[in-house]
Amino acid sequence: MMKTLYDVAVIGGGVVGGMIARTLSAYDLSLCILEKNHDVARGASAANSSIVHAGFDAKEGSMKARMNVRGSEMMEAVCRELGVKYQNNGSLVLGFDADDRTTLEELLVRGNANGVKDLRIIEQDELRALEPNIAKEATCALHAPTGGIVCPYELTLASIGNAMDNGAELFTEFEVSEIRDNGSDFTVIAKNGNEINARFVINAAGLFADAIAKMVGDDSFTIHPRRGEYLLLDRECGGLVKNTIFRTPGKMGKGLLVTPTVDGNLLVGPTSVDQEDKTDKSTTLEGLSLIRNKSAENAEGVPFGKTITSFCGLRAVGSVGDFIINMPRERFVNVAGIESPGLSSSPAIAEYVLELLKNTDLALEKKADFNPIRPATHAFREGSIEEKNEMIKKDPAYGRIICRCEGVSEGEILAAIRQNPRPRDLDGVKRRTRAQMGRCQGGFCSPYIVEMLAKEWGLPFEAITKFGGESIINFERTKEEN
């Protein structure tokens, strides 16, 4: 039974909760992060478009617009501090007819009002010069050079890891079932019976933020999931386009996109379908077929034969049409309805929450020893031959390649297992190292990674799962070890 009193508890181990925790870890506070899953970055932060939006789409004056533009401006510096890959690749919204041009002109006016820099509409000749593989039927485009791309789960892991390195505690498998207001603090109770007490609670629970809010009597909003399916193509396909390519947006979102990723893959999608089930992340033949057909309207020659995986993410769509960031009662902060552009906005949302807390009785004294820097986890993979040889001399494990598709070494996997927040399952190692993300999708390297996890955690081989819970990989050994 855990009953420790914290100054602040952040509910939710996604990118928004991670950014908030990291920001607060710069202050002399006792701080914890409560995540219901086996690992962090398991919700929307694990499966989205990876786009740092410029900020031209959100309605002028909205919380989305303010947080998006500010967050986009902050993102490059934040990623540099956290050792996370970021590319300022720019974005293009394609126009095909007169109606599209009218929409692009409206987006241009809106983007300028939101403070997005260097927006302009370009014509077909310039568009083709910028992107040779763009659809021939495209006649113009809105060009946003401040747009970028980032790895969402890498950013989440790094922000939470940096918060932990600066004193925050992480409790996984802590599914909040009840919150009791004790007057001067809250008791937060998990489904498994564990408890913590906290003077302030920040609700960053994604799809389940409405349920958390109701636990303290706030029923002012609801959250429903919007599913988005994607196809991920091999790394050799990432050069098909340089910019992130959008269609003109509709009422269900920014539409289907074609984009490179920071790791060199090509990503196409998403679909956009509202549903009731907050846990169903299955892909469908209908959705994946739609992606194939529609992406061909944006760019020519998308090599779908080199698709290596498909996946589905769920966006947390709030009932009020904007981000919900408020204090419905004393010492409780809602950070809810953070759909797109939530990833782009996350550093600014954390900054905004800090300002809200400054208007309370929470003592916010800056730490003298706060360290905002987290070493990059991909230094070996991206190093020169000389740098790699030097690392191998210091630790021979870096010379043993475990994942052949992605070229990930034993040393990198061991470093990831030993670094905050520590992974306990195969998918956790995948998100941290890219091992299992190549063409064979872990067919070769998974048994070796399971063995490494078991040894590092002191667990039986068959106790290691794919993503926690009942995702069992090995039921029993077929023979005794020698």
- Residue 244 β-bridge partners: 91
Does the active-site annotation cover 378?
no
Residue among 38, 53, 143, 378 flagged as catalytic? 53
What is the crossing angle of helices 410-417 and 426-433, to 10°? Answer: 110
Amino acid at 479: K
Is 89:242 a contact under the CB 8 Å cutoff? yes
Query: 221: how many CB neighbours lie within 10 A of its CB?
Result: 18
State which amino acid sits at residue 327.
M
Sign of the dihedral defined by the CA atoms of residues 272, 111, 43, 415, in that order: positive
Tell me the DSSP string of 119-184. Answer: -EEEEHHHHHHH-TTB-TT--EEEEETT-EEE-HHHHHHHHHHHHHHTT-EEE-S--EEEEEE-SS
Helix (H, G, I), strand (E, B) or coil at 51: strand
- What are the C-alpha distances in Å from 258 to residues 73, 195, 251, 418? 23, 44, 19, 35
68 in Cβ contact with 74 (< 8 Å)? no
Name the amino acid, one letter, at 240.
Answer: L
Q: What is the DSSP letter of 248?
A: P
Rounded CA separation 186/32 (Å): 13
HSE (side-chain half, CA atoms, 13 Å) at 187: 11
| Cα-Cα end-to-end distance for the chain | 40
Q: Is 60 helix (H, G, I), strand (E, B) or coil?
A: coil
- How far apart (Å, rounded) are the C-alpha atoms in residues 413 and 431? 11
CA distance linking residue 119 with residue 108, whole number of Å:
7
Question: CA nearest 450: which of 462, 458, 440?
Answer: 462
Nearest to 256 by CA among 243, 268, 273, 239: 268
CA distance 66 to 349: 9
Return d(Cα 239, Cα 236) in angstroms, integer.
7
Residue 132: partners with Cβ closer than 8 Å, 6 or more residues away: none
- Burial profile 192-203: b = 16 or more Cβ within 10 angstroms, e = fewer: eebebbbbbbbb
Catalytic residues: 53
